Structure 1
Amino acid sequence: MAELPSFIAFTGLDNPAQIGDLRELSARYPIEWGVLVDDAQTEKPLFPDAEKRKAFVTAGGLRLAAHVCGEQARRIANEPDSVDVELFGYSRVQVNHSFTGSSAAHIENTVYFGRKIGVRSMLQFSKETPSDSRLDWLFDVSFGTGVAPTAWPTLAKNGPFVGFSGGIGPDTVKDVLKAIDAPQGVQYWIDMESRIRTDGYLDLNKCEAVCRAVYG
């Protein structure tokens, strides 16, 4: 039997009025909630402004990851000491600086930035699985569009902590887990964004349906 994910990452918190329901679902299932951070796009539901982000962080009872995008992400990857973005209260920070991968310098800067602010850092990859275990890696060929990959990378027992995204939702998650076919004892996570939304907003009914499909 394939190993189940250590937790499910639902990305795209947008409404602080849901905090009570977020806590309730988190109490029943292992969940990390992703908060997209880009101060240039806060007019979109996917990118809550600083006030909303603060509400999520200060609520308590939620495991949160910041997914930094846009110019702020590019600066982390290239000039980490020049970045001024409030990331207190998150357990991990994912730096979405490029769709084309990360250079050795990008990796070093991202590791440095995470250690500087005291959180675990993450980067995306779309081809072979990276070997650097100083940070976590998300396999992503979709970039929030809901497109499923043609194949999933193989998990190594002694490799870095890896997550999987792309086309995952209530109707596909069981098939995705079968395709990933994680060996017993290997830790990983799954991440999703577009297929857990309704009319552009996070739909907690869909999130719960994913949890039930994975963990029962």
Structure 2
Amino acid sequence: MPHPYPLRALGFCSIDDSCDPDILLSVSRSYSFVEWGVLFRPDKEGEPRYATESYVKDKLYKAYKASNGCMKLAAHLCGSRVNEVLRGDDSFLKTLVSLGFKRVQINATSVNGVDTSTLPSASKILRTVISGNRELEFILQRSEETRELWEPFDAEVEGNVSMLFDESKGTGVLPSTYTPPPSQYPVGYAGGIGPSNVVSVLESILKVSGEKDFWIDMESSLRSNVDGVDSFDVMKCQRVIRRVCEEVGLYQFCS
């Protein structure tokens, strides 16, 4: 039976080599609404927040296979990975599908290392890429900076496109207000969300979203300093899950 609460997913982003995939698998088996986000940016691969290729292809993929489909994975493209897509190169996207990724977020902002001067001409190219990869759901980061990329999709909707409201452009700043979701595609919200405020954020979004499903995504708030190393903190994810399940009252949403 579908849950009555309109929360589609909890997105936990910046999975990197500091994460034990078996722990991620255990969380996914208990809470199938959790989505693990991996940041892909070749010039930063191996740094905190950016998983290595071997980690994704070997360790994370092994956990995904063992999950029998309950582990949800999202690829958050940054830097040259976005520039490739905006030029029409979808070869990397094809590899993601084979590794279990079902959603791809296009972080087409300057803070994410993207050449934003190409955005005015890139929308048509991106549409071709999206229509040629129907097995993936594409998430467009919706902000003023990326308007020239996402706005054409408002008028001519693609069935496998979603929008993420994040005016902070991935910098983890909590917005003062939340935008009511358009009716034509799925939406998510990000920016400054974490264990300490997830309940109040959900309450604020519900005031503008009505009964429309949405997801929320978080990143910066899930990091901790472990022995001097910036690391992904699964315990913080579990705090978010616990607050959502207990304080929001989503007992039937949590297995």
TM-score (norm 2): 0.74
| CA displacement, residues 8-44 of structure 1 (integer Å, 9 cap, x when unaligned) | 0100111375111111111222111111011111141
Structure 2 partner of 1:33: 36
Structure 2 partner of 1:119: 136
Structure 2 stretches lacking a partner, 5+ long: 111-115, 247-255
Q: CA deviation at 1:201?
A: 1.5
Higher relative helix content: 2
- Measured in 2, the distance between the counterparts of 1:151 and 1:41 equals 32
Number of positions where the alignment pairs a residue of Structure 1 with one of Structure 2:
213
Q: Which amino acid counterpart does residue 143 of structure 1 have in structure 2? A: K
Query: Structure 1 residue 71 and structure 2 residue 87: aligned?
Result: no
Structure 1 partner of 2:15: 13
Tell which structure's C-alpha radius of gyration is larger.
2
Going from structure 1 to structure 2, the CA distance change for 1:101 and 1:91 (only over 3 Å counts) comes to: farther
- Measured in 2, the distance between the counterparts of 1:169 and 1:95 equals 22
Q: Which residue of the other structure, out of 43, 46, 49, is the alignment partner of 1:46?
A: 49
Q: Which residue of the other structure, out of 179, 194, 211, is the alignment partner of 1:169?
A: 194
Q: Which amino acid counterpart does residue 204 of structure 1 have in structure 2? A: V
Superposition pairs of residues 79-158 of structure 1, within 5 angstroms: 79-81=87-89, 84=92, 86-87=95-96, 88=98, 89-99=100-110, 105-117=121-133, 118-126=135-143, 131=154, 132-134=157-159, 135-156=161-182, 158=183
- Tell me, what secondary structure is at the counterpart of 1:21? helix
After the TM superposition, list the runs of 4 or more consecutive aligned residues in structure 1 that deviate by more than 6 angstroms: none
- Tell me, what secondary structure is at the counterpart of 1:151? coil
Q: Which amino acid counterpart does residue 89 of structure 2 have in structure 1? A: D
Q: CA deviation at 1:124?
A: 0.3
| CA displacement, residues 73-118 of structure 1 (integer Å, 9 cap, x when unaligned) | 02212x1137546323210111112257995753443343244343
Going from structure 1 to structure 2, the CA distance change for 1:161 and 1:133 (only over 3 Å counts) comes to: farther
- Measured in 2, the distance between the counterparts of 1:7 and 1:101 equals 32
Aligned 8 A contact 2:190 2:217 in 1: yes
Structure 2 partner of 1:187: 213
Structure 1 stretches lacking a partner, 5+ long: none
TM-score (norm 1): 0.86
- Measured in 1, the distance between the counterparts of 2:6 and 2:197 equals 15
Q: CA deviation at 1:214?
A: 1.4
| Identical aligned residues as a percent | 30
